[in-house]
Amino acid sequence: MIGLTCAIILFNYIAFKTNTRLNRNEIAHIWTFTIAFQVSFDKFIDVKYKAYWYFDQTIQWQDALAHSVLLPPVNMMFINWYPFKKPIRKQVLYITIWVVIILIYELITLLPEPWGYFQYGWWDIKHSAIADPILLLILLSYYKFFIRRTIERI
């Protein structure tokens, strides 16, 4: 629980202190999308298929922290710093760097409690290496096609 609490505080601090692009409406959209998408994805992978889970295999209140206040600020940072107007090569490099950072962080979360809080079932780091870029591209697409277009029209 210590690792999760430290990560939540750190990620939220960095996300809000360094935000230069996102307005409150966009932040609310990113948080809502992230929570809804992560809960939907995790409930299948976690509960139904037992691929991975937070803390242990039962549903607990602390799981809600990982779903509601851990990942949304990470997605805020990803979108806030994304090089939208740069060449595609730089965008691919940006996503690759983020995937590497996420994979390193995931390995840290596998440490024993109280620092770690994430457990593998049949899932492993290779699955994350495949899934993470896809999930980041889904987030990016959501931002580009729904949030940014809507904001530009207003």
Question: Would you give the distance in Å from CA 2 to the centre of its chain?
Answer: 19
Angle between helices 88-109 and 125-142 (to 10 degrees): 130
User: In which band, very low, low, confident or very high, does the pLDDT at 49 lie, cut at 50, 70 and 90?
Assistant: very high
Q: Would you call 139 exposed, middle or buried from its count of C-beta atoms within 10 A (0-12, 13-18, 19+)?
A: buried
Buried b (16+ CB within 10 A) or exposed e, 68-81: ebbbbbbbbbbbbe
Q: What is the pTM of this model?
A: 0.92
Q: Please give the mean pLDDT across all residues of the chain.
A: 93
Indicate the domain borders of the chain: 2-153
User: In which band, very low, low, confident or very high, does the pLDDT at 151 lie, cut at 50, 70 and 90?
Assistant: low
Residue 45, token pair as written in the block: 């992978």
